Amino acid sequence: MAVEERDPVTGRETTGHEWNGIKELDTPVPRGVLIFLVVTHIWAVAWWFFAPTWPLGSTYTKGLLGIDQRTTVEENLVRAQQARSVWTTRLETEPYETILADQQLMGIVRSTGHQLFGDNCAACHGVDGSGRAGYPDLTDDDWIWGGEPEAIEQTMRVGINTRHPDSRIGQMPAFGRDGILEREHVSNVASYVYSLSNPEYSTPENRERIEAGRTVFADNCAACHGDDATGNREVGAPNLADNRWVYGGDLQTIINSVHGGREGHMPTWDERLSNLDIRTLSLYVYDLGIVGR
């Protein structure tokens, strides 16, 4: 083994080993790396004593600091629950009026309500609650069954046209299909209803048919929808004069509603959602209605 042989090109010492005529320069580990290695080894050994480290079959070395991730998580959970229970209790017990006046609490209602709504209601009413044909818009402050939080809560609890003993029942008879009205009467009354929110439709050539429809309406529809067609929440008959529609407000869709009848189904939530969730959603939906006001 040749000692202190220098490489003629770099002037550095070689290791003295030779492999197939190639010699290796003797490059020591940089000091920084060496220090790093020493420090991390000391740190590791120290850590063995302080923190839980070595598995010993069914148990493990616990360490002097008593660190335990499980207790930490449990403590955090208890703390979060305590923080949460302050507002969950308020949401469950305080009158709606009080909660609505509390902007901080309403902030919580909006964020947790949005989540709940997305999980349970959005499939039918849309992510933003604006509905689609057959599923009412919950943001427009036009309510079939009532838009106060108490009314919304009741709608959610018993559902609409469900088997719940207290279910809200709203049935629009199939005037055409069941032969209650002749085809011409169906068409006339639909024209009348259409003209209520489309005044430009009342042209001289349509006037006769609209007037005929007005009579049909008074005789057959006013009992549920009201003399002025503004609806009746007792029987879930929607306002027909405000140009806001569940099924659609074009002439043909109105004819379809009158011909075939309508019976929307809204599930009950009494057993599927907790009291807290139902109250949160009632406030959330009420709040959506205010935004649309």
Tokens in use for 291? 């935004």
- Of 157, 175, 210, 287, the one binding ligand HEC (CB under 6 A) is 175
Cβ neighbours around 181 below 10 Å, total: 21
Rounded Cα–Cα distance for residues 259 and 73 (Å): 61
DSSP assigned state of 238: P
251 contributes a contact to ligand HEC by CB under 6 A: no
Cβ neighbours around 273 below 10 Å, total: 18
- Provide the β-strand partners of residue 6: 13
121 contributes a contact to ligand HEC by CB under 6 A: yes
Q: Which is nearer to ligand HEC, 108 or 278 (CB)?
A: 278
- Of 99, 108, 135, 279, the one binding ligand HEC (CB under 6 A) is 135
254 contributes a contact to ligand HEC by CB under 6 A: yes
Which phi and psi (to 5°) does residue 91 adopt? Answer: -65, -35
Choose one: 20-28, 61-69, 97-105, 255-263; the region binding ligand HEC (CB under 6 A). 255-263
156 contributes a contact to ligand HEC by CB under 6 A: yes
Element (H, E) at 232: none
283 contributes a contact to ligand HEC by CB under 6 A: no
Rounded Cα–Cα distance for residues 64 and 49 (Å): 6
196 contributes a contact to ligand HEC by CB under 6 A: no
Rounded Cα–Cα distance for residues 53 and 40 (Å): 16
291 contributes a contact to ligand HEC by CB under 6 A: no
- Of 220, 268, 279, 288, the one binding ligand HEC (CB under 6 A) is 220
Rounded Cα–Cα distance for residues 276 and 99 (Å): 13
Instruction: State the residues that interact with ligand HEC by CB under 6 A.
Output: 120-121, 123-125, 134-136, 138, 143-145, 152, 155-156, 160, 170-173, 175, 189, 193, 217, 220-221, 223-225, 235-238, 240, 245-248, 254, 257-258, 262-267, 269, 281, 285
